[in-house]
Amino acid sequence: MNITLEGKTAFITGAARGQGRQHAITLAQAGANIVASDICQQIDTVPYSMATRDDLDETVALVEETGQKIVALQADVRELSQLRHAVDQGLVSFGSLDIVCANAGIYSFGPIDSYDIEPQRWNDVISTDLTGVFNTIKTTAPAMIDGGRGGSIIVTSSTAGLRGLRSMADYTAAKHGVVGLTRAFANELAQHRIRVNSIHPTGVDTHMVTNPELAEFYAQFPDMADNVSGNLLPVELVEAQDISNAVVFLASDATRYVTGLQMTVDAGFTTKV
């Protein structure tokens, strides 16, 4: 299938590295211009190193290599004013908004019992992974409606949005929550020809999963590794490109009548018994 997104603009949160960066590159390869945002700073309760402005600049360079244009801004999805500024800058640069990837997310790990999660960690995860998705849609949907061209909103959930994962009730609650947002906004935005779908990856080979801090945690508690392993297909982790392929598909006219879907790219993780 030859997918083209020429003449379209995609807004992506969490674009400095990992899945977000690959989404930016892959959407650009299909012809879209990119508005990329990322917090580019550390959140204290996140145990692994988060992306930096240098990482976001690298995303810019990689997108520009495709021949497409990109605007990149630091923006915290927890802050509506920062997201509004990023959206406004994207509209100034490209004049329209057609695709939204609500991708930004964080998680933490340990203690092994979720009732021991500290309140600040809970607040950080929920405000980033759930409220951040709401804020992203809240700030982008009006621009898509005003554009009158319809469009596609793609929400990054997780297998944790379909199953309960141990030691991370905060992440699991947030990722279940964005399924509710997906379904609600699919109903509300359909009249504007805006489709809203969620993607549910298994463990992806990015720093968020392969960081040394998580490896140390699993070495200490090996039975916890089932949170990101135990796939039905014989692969431990999928690649970011595998998720980006689904993003491009959902962004394209090939799925013009697909909305409210929970698409798994999970190597059978949620099917395995």
For residue range 16-47, list pLDDT tens digits in order. 999 999 999 999 999 999 999 999 999 999 99
User: Residue 228: its pLDDT value, please?
Assistant: 61
Q: By percentage, how much of the chain surpasses pLDDT 90?
A: 90
Residue 61 domain-assigned? yes
pLDDT(227) > 90: no
User: Residue 225: its pLDDT value, please?
Assistant: 73
Q: What is the CATH number of the domain that holds 128?
A: 3.40.50.720
Residue 1 domain-assigned? no
* Longest Cα–Cα distance in the chain: 53
- Predicted confidence band at 223 (pLDDT cuts at 50, 70, 90)? confident
177-183: long-range contacts at Cβ-Cβ below 8 A with a sequence spacing of 24 or more?
177/126, 177/129, 177/130, 178/102, 178/129, 178/130, 178/133, 179/262, 181/130, 181/133, 181/134, 181/137, 181/155, 182/155, 182/157, 182/260, 182/262, 183/260
Say how many residues make up the chain.
273
DSSP 164: P
User: Residue 229: its pLDDT value, please?
Assistant: 63
Residue 3 domain-assigned? no
Residue 271 domain-assigned? no
| DSSP element (H, E) containing 41 | none
Q: From residue 223, give the alpha-carbon distance in Å to each of 22, 144, 155, 228.
A: 31, 45, 29, 11
User: Residue 41: its pLDDT value, please?
Assistant: 98
**Rounded distance, CA 145 to CA 122, Å?**
33
Print the domain residue range for 134: 9-265
Task: Find out whether 118 and 168 touch, Cβ atoms under 8 Å.
Answer: no
What would the pLDDT profile of 76-120 be if each residue is shown by its tens digit? 999 999 999 999 999 999 999 999 999 999 999 888 888 899 999
Task: Find out whether 175 and 158 touch, Cβ atoms under 8 Å.
Answer: yes
Residue 2 domain-assigned? no
pLDDT(226) > 80: no
| Residue 225: strand, helix, or coil | helix
Burial class (CB in 10 A: 0-12, 13-18, 19+), 81: exposed
**Structural domain count of the chain:** 1
What would the pLDDT profile of 118-174 be if each residue is shown by its tens digit? 999 999 999 999 999 999 999 999 999 999 999 999 999 999 999 998 889 999 999
Residue 244 domain-assigned? yes
Q: Which residue has the tokens 């959206």?
A: 87
Sequence-ordered list of residues with C-beta below 8 angstroms from that of 218, at least 6 positions apart, any chain:
224, 225
Q: Which amino acids are annotated catalytic?
A: 171
User: Residue 111: its pLDDT value, please?
Assistant: 80
Residue 172 domain-assigned? yes
Residue 98 domain-assigned? yes
User: Residue 253: its pLDDT value, please?
Assistant: 96
217-223: long-range contacts at Cβ-Cβ below 8 A with a sequence spacing of 24 or more?
217/109, 217/110, 221/110, 221/112
